[in-house]
Amino acid sequence: MTTYRVVQWATGTIGARSLRALVEHPGLSLAGVYVHSPEKAGLDAGELCGLDSTGVTATRNIEDVVGLGADCVLYMPLQCDLDEVCRLLESGANVVTTRGEFHHPGSMDPEERKRVEAACERGGTSIHSTGSSPGFITEAVPLVLTSIARRVDALTIDEYADLSQHPSPELLFDVMGFGVSPAEFAEERLSRARTSFGPSLRLIAEALSLRLDALEASGELATARRRVHIAAGELAPGTVAAQRLTVAGMRDGHPLLRFRATWYCTTDLDPAWGLGDTGWHVSVAGDAPLEVSLRLPVPLDRMAEVSPSYTANRAVNAVPLVCAAAPGIRTTLDLPQVTTTLG
């Protein structure tokens, strides 16, 4: 079995879990670690992910990473920097990322796509975006479920997340916008499903040779009926306690492919919504109809601890496939099915 030398780029919540999986993977070898904060620079990789010393120390210099001659970089920053991505690709390092910019080349800005493809060509490398959502649930699962169909009339993916026991006020209040009045809720938050999940729907449509006329994005809010105490703090009555983001691939005025994310902090909502347990539900209508639920069987007070694995592990498992792929932006359709190597 080929052993690939891999760099972990960024060690936040997902990156630290990815780093741990990388160190423990039997077919991967940790070549380096890139960090953003000065406090982490110089620390051993093991210290950054809760493992014993690895002998690999973290750097903040991209040229240190380039100089390692690694086979792949697991790129997991909070924001995508195209200069960084292109520098890595043209240096000869393949990239697997949990950033969502590369799920579907046709959805990218044309100039940015050309720039990334040119970097891949110069370096003989490939780049692939994946994760749990988008990725696993928006591409891998629908493609498997529709593989027994000859007609698909509609496909809907529902994502549910009960965030009542998530202990991060920064995430819930500052990033996601819970706890404000509906009038204060940033409208652009409700349409971000178009850019976050729309590319996956377009990819599915292409895979199934289904025509889409347009992508439509929308959002809804529900408020707390009464004062609610959650792990991250408090929600006052009348403030945003649930949000639902929808993106739909439309054909002839009807949703053919649809993704809906429903994130909530309480079930006592105004208006009342039908809510599912944390996880996903996929519905396929056609000549081989299916209803599939995937529940995450984790206590809510442990969800923040466990859930990063769903995103990080798929990226780590994809490394050998991306390293073996032809140069370019590689999608779920371009790669073999991602499988895990456990021993």
What pLDDT, on the 0 to 100 scale, is given for residue 191? 75
Is residue 340 in a domain? no
Whole-number mean pLDDT of the chain? 96
Residue 246, CA distances (Å) to 148, 198, 205, 273 in order: 26, 10, 17, 15
Residue position matching structure tokens 């945003």: 240
Is residue 87 domain-shared with residue 179, that is, in the same domain?
no
Is residue 303 in a domain? no
What pLDDT, on the 0 to 100 scale, is given for residue 89? 98
Nearest to 273 by CA among 299, 303, 241, 306: 241
Residue 287, pLDDT above cutoff 90: yes
Is residue 53 domain-shared with residue 163, that is, in the same domain?
no
Is residue 336 in a domain? no
Is residue 11 in a domain? yes
Is residue 98 domain-shared with residue 160, that is, in the same domain?
no
| CB burial of residue 260 (10 Å; 0-12, 13-18, 19+) | buried
Is residue 181 domain-shared with residue 105, that is, in the same domain?
no
**Residues pairing with 7 in the sheet:** 32, 73
Is residue 10 domain-shared with residue 72, that is, in the same domain?
yes
List helix spans (H) across 92-251. 110-123, 141-145, 169, 187-191, 193-207
Task: Quote the pTM value.
Answer: 0.94
Hey, which bits of the chain come out as E strands?
4-9, 28-34, 58-59, 72-75, 94-97, 126-129, 152-162, 214-224, 228-230, 233-235, 240-251, 254-264, 269-270, 279-286, 290-295, 328-329
What pLDDT, on the 0 to 100 scale, is given for residue 266? 97
Is residue 96 domain-shared with residue 175, that is, in the same domain?
no
Is residue 234 in a domain? yes
* DSSP assignment letter at 195: H
Q: Which of 59-63, 142-146, 191-195, 272-276 has the lowest mean pLDDT?
A: 191-195
Is residue 76 domain-shared with residue 184, that is, in the same domain?
no
Provide the CATH number for the domain around residue 88.
Answer: 3.40.50.720
Is residue 234 domain-shared with residue 121, that is, in the same domain?
no
Is residue 26 domain-shared with residue 117, that is, in the same domain?
yes
Is residue 28 in a domain? yes
Both tokens assigned to 68: 């390692």
Is residue 299 in a domain? no
Q: Across residues 227-248, what is the average pLDDT? A: 97
Total count of domains within the chain: 2
- Cα–Cα dist 217/198, whole Å: 9
Residue 1, pLDDT above cutoff 90: no
Amino acid symbol at 235 = L
In which band, very low, low, confident or very high, does the pLDDT at 128 lie, cut at 50, 70 and 90? very high
Q: Which domain holds residue 66?
A: 4-131+308-329
What pLDDT, on the 0 to 100 scale, is given for residue 247? 96
**Residues pairing with 55 in the sheet:** none
- Cα–Cα dist 51/139, whole Å: 33
- Cα–Cα dist 39/277, whole Å: 38
Q: Is the peptide bond between 308 and the residue preceding it cis, with omega within 30 degrees of 0? A: no
In which band, very low, low, confident or very high, does the pLDDT at 323 lie, cut at 50, 70 and 90? very high
List helix spans (H) across 38-158. 45-49, 62-66, 82-90, 110-123, 141-145
pLDDT tens digits, one per residue of 14-64 = 999 999 999 999 999 999 999 999 999 999 999 999 999 999 999 999 999
Is residue 280 in a domain? yes
Both tokens assigned to 282: 């996929």
Is residue 17 domain-shared with residue 105, that is, in the same domain?
yes
Query: Do the bridges between strand 126-129 and strand 233-235 make them parallel or antiparallel, or are there none, so unpaired?
Result: unpaired
What pLDDT, on the 0 to 100 scale, is given for residue 192? 77
pLDDT tens digits, one per residue of 160-204 = 999 999 999 999 999 899 999 999 998 777 777 788 999 999 999
Is residue 89 domain-shared with residue 18, that is, in the same domain?
yes
